[in-house]
Amino acid sequence: MDAALLTLESVSKSYWRGPHELRVLSGLSLETDAGEFTVVWGKRGAGKTSLLKIAAGLESCDRGSVRFQGVDLACMSEGEHARMMRERIAWVRRSGPRSDLRMLDYVALPLLPAHGHRGAYAQAREALTRVGIGDCAQQYWQSLSDGERALVGIARGIARRPSLLLVDDPTANLCVREREELVALLRELADGGVGVLMTVPDMNEMMGAHQIAALSGGHLIAPPKAPEPPSNLIHFPGAERLA
């Protein structure tokens, strides 16, 4: 049987604040595959960003393992990991460019080393159009709405045509309509074959996911997989956890 796209197994992570240990993840296990839209809900401070950073190999876990298509990220060299992040895994940030760039330049910039100017800009235009904001290509970050900024982040992620898209709380500060449209877009990307792992602070944004879970006390608490089409009722049995 082929390995899952992303596998987190018995992952634990703590941070130290002086002499005090803050445990954010505790024996957490999760699998997500190509074409699967997985959403993890949790309150502020629950460890959602830590979960995604560990999934991307941007942070190491204290215990457990993280595998991408069966390969343990801890066994990768720095160069191998950098290449994986360029070509296979996209991390969608909420922040924008640190310099004054047009959005077309911002989306194209990471693609230049591998694709050259013409290829990078063609893929950047395609990505911006794909998420519905092709008309923002010549605009700057300061002139965009919160919804447009969220879509630029996703465009920058999918422009490299990754296998796995990691999206950290993309719906912050969006209105209900914008949230629904963004979640529908991510579901559409998953239906097209991309593995999508998204964290959110609101349970309403879990609708439409193939797999949903709540992050609490460092553990993932998961209901049965959502039916097709997804039910309007989500139940979290307290004793059932992802394994």
Evaluate whether 26 touches 218 at the Cβ level (below 8 Å): yes
State pLDDT tens for residues 1-44.
Answer: 568 999 999 999 999 888 888 899 999 999 999 999 999 999 98
- Angle ∠(85,207,92) on CA atoms, nearest 5: 20
What pLDDT does 229 receive?
52
What pLDDT does 20 receive?
87
Evaluate whether 86 touches 110 at the Cβ level (below 8 Å): yes
Evaluate whether 191 touches 35 at the Cβ level (below 8 Å): yes
Q: Among all chains, which residue has been given the structure tokens 């296990």?
A: 29
Phi-psi map region of 218: left, alpha, beta (phi>0 left; psi -120 to 50 alpha): left
Asked whether the predicted pLDDT for residue 235 surpasses 70, the reply is no
Q: What are the residue ranges spanned by the domains of the chain?
A: 1-88+164-243, 94-161
Asked whether the predicted pLDDT for residue 223 surpasses 70, the reply is no
Evaluate whether 162 touches 133 at the Cβ level (below 8 Å): no
Q: In the structure, how many helices (H) and strands (E) does the chain have?
A: 6, 10
State pLDDT tens for residues 84-104.
Answer: 998 999 999 878 888 889 999
How are beta strands 164-168 and 89-92 bridged, if at all? parallel
Asked whether the predicted pLDDT for residue 60 surpasses 80, the reply is yes
**Can you give the C-alpha Rg of the chain in angstroms?**
18
Positive or negative, the CA dihedral 210, 214, 219, 225 is: negative
CB-based contacts of 240: which residues, under 8 Å, 6+ apart?
221, 222, 223
Residue 153 CA to residue 136 CA, distance in Å, equals 12
Which pair of structure tokens corresponds to residue 53? 């950073």
Can you give the pTM of this predicted structure? 0.87
- For range 166-192, the mean pLDDT: 92
Phi-psi map region of 99: left, alpha, beta (phi>0 left; psi -120 to 50 alpha): beta
What is the DSSP code (8-state) at residue 206?
Answer: G
Q: State in words which class domain 1-88+164-243 has.
A: alpha beta
